[in-house]
Amino acid sequence: MNKILLIIQREYLTRVKKKSFIIMTIIGPILMVGLVFAQFWIKMIPEEKQKILVVDESQLFVNKLENSANQTFTYSKNNLAFEKKAFYSTDNNVILYIPANIIDSQKIQIFYKKQPGLDMQDYINAIVGKKLEEMKLLASGVNVNQLASIKTKLNLTTTKIEKSGNLETKDNEVSMALGFIAGILIYIFIFLYGAQVMRGVIEEKTSRIVEVIISSVRPFELMMGKIVGIAMVGLTQFLLWIILSVVGTSLVGNYFIKDDVNVAQVEQTFKTNIPQNDAFKEMSNDKQAEIMDSFFNQVNLPVMLFSFLFYFLGGYLLYGALFAAVGSAVDNEADTQQFMLPLTIPLILSFTLAQNVMTNPESSLAFWLSVFPLTSPIIMMVRIPFGVPYFDLILSMVMLVLGFIGATWISAKIYRTGILMYGKKTSYKELWKWLFYKG
């Protein structure tokens, strides 16, 4: 036991002392802070206003289209042919052509100098369409008051009836985002540090030191020491990133606000940085407060936090053992390709299917993916905000523990044989045989 601590210590210290670790630890938060404030900057820079010249042959829309923050409409009294010719002598960005028979044809056209963005096209489409609908309604005899009363803004709340009869209303947009971010973090951690385990094993193998070491400790101790040591390196790095990011963001934030920037604008930027920003934007302040409130009340924070730590470490340990086995089976990193595939496929699959699970958290696909140990660390984190039965959660955790034990057992067998095989290309068939070699 003492020796495994020594191994963990070495794996940890040699990595933490490396220049690349220190550089990454500093650059990571700078990138994070930079990213946040790059968005902030972009919001602060006033967007170029798009000038839209309306050539309205129907004369139905003159002075009736609402300007937005970025789009302003001006109305031409000339015909289309004239305006087309004059287009480049004006500072108009596009010409919106509304034909005389717009009511029947329902066709409008945009002429442009530079391809207009999708948001502008959408905006024009929506605003002209809306106006057209209103006109049609009015034409069919609906009066203005009726029209106003017909317009509806629906508000949907989802409420769960528990067996006990308690009602629980969930507004889980924030926790959904949190679950998704947790899944991504686990994904990154597994890939980044799993690969480090593999590289460490290859290094020991190619430098031939492995034979010296396993004449002092059991191969299993060396393998586990490496996996645990690197996990601690990863945790250290994440912790430093979080601390430095928070400190950095608040420092830079202070600077910006002191710099006499419109505070409301800053707030707005931060709000829109939260995922689901469209929904958020339209909410009143009351609603936002309600969400924050419901987040703390209804997301079971302890469960979420515990699950995150569990799947974060469990997933890493499971994959770490498998990555170690891959490293032991090859002589250099270029040869790892063929063995990496079975590891990367479930990882990437769970990452891509996370979206699917979010839209359909109760599906059987979601269930099985969140129970299968190779995909559960990411998928379960995505599922948890939607409320997972304790049975599912416990089953998934037990499966992950079993998966970890199984993977470690298999990996240890492959590792033990693999680290002493030099200069031979290994096939899957051989890996299979190694499982049955006696100690």
State the nearest-atom distance from the C-beta of 224 to another protein, in Å. Answer: 15
- In Å, the largest CA–CA distance within the chain is 94
Asked if 144 is part of the footprint of another protein (rule: CB under 8 A), the reply reads no
| Site size with another protein, rule: CB under 8 A | 26
Answer yes or no whether residue 212 interacts with another protein by CB under 8 A: yes
Q: Can you tell me which residue has the tokens 């191969």?
A: 219
- Residue 214 interacting with another protein (CB under 8 A): yes
Residues 339-378 binding another protein (CB under 8 A) are: none
User: Binding of another protein at residue 437 (CB under 8 A)?
Assistant: yes
Footprint of another protein on residues 402-431 (CB under 8 A)? 416, 420, 422
Q: Tell me if 207 contacts another protein by CB under 8 A.
A: yes
Indicate whether 211 belongs to the interface with another protein (CB under 8 A).
yes
Q: Smallest distance, Å, CB 206 to another protein?
A: 8
Closest approach, Cβ 32 to another protein, in A, equals 29
Taking the C-alpha atoms of residue 377 and residue 105, their distance in angstroms, rounded to an integer, is: 54
When asked if residue 208 is in the footprint of another protein (CB under 8 A), the reply is yes
- What SS3 class is residue 202? helix
Contact call for residue 185 and another protein (CB under 8 A): no
Look at residues 53, 51, 75, 78 and name the one whose alpha carbon lies nearest to residue 64. Answer: 75
- Range in contact with another protein (rule: CB under 8 A) among 2-10, 189-197, 345-353, 380-388: 2-10
Q: Interface with another protein by CB under 8 A: which range of 7-15, 99-107, 351-359, 381-389? A: 7-15
Alpha helical stretches, state H, 89-153: 102-105, 118-139, 144-150
**What token pair was written down for 420?**
């002493």
| 318: enclosing H helix or E strand | helix 301-329
Q: Pick the closest to residue 324 from 206, 220, 430, 426 (CA basis).
A: 220
- Find, among 304, 295, 296, the residue nearest to 380 by Cα: 304
Identified binder of another protein from the candidate list 155, 215, 332, 364, rule CB under 8 A: 215
Say if residue 209 is exposed, middle or buried (CB neighbours under 10 Å; 0-12, 13-18, 19+).
exposed
Site residues for another protein, window 12-31 (CB under 8 A)? 14
CA–CA separation, 13 and 320 (whole Å): 19
For another protein, the closer CB: 213 or 232: 213
Note the residues at the interface with another protein (CB under 8 A): 3, 6-7, 10, 14, 203-204, 207-209, 211-219, 416, 420, 422, 433, 437-439
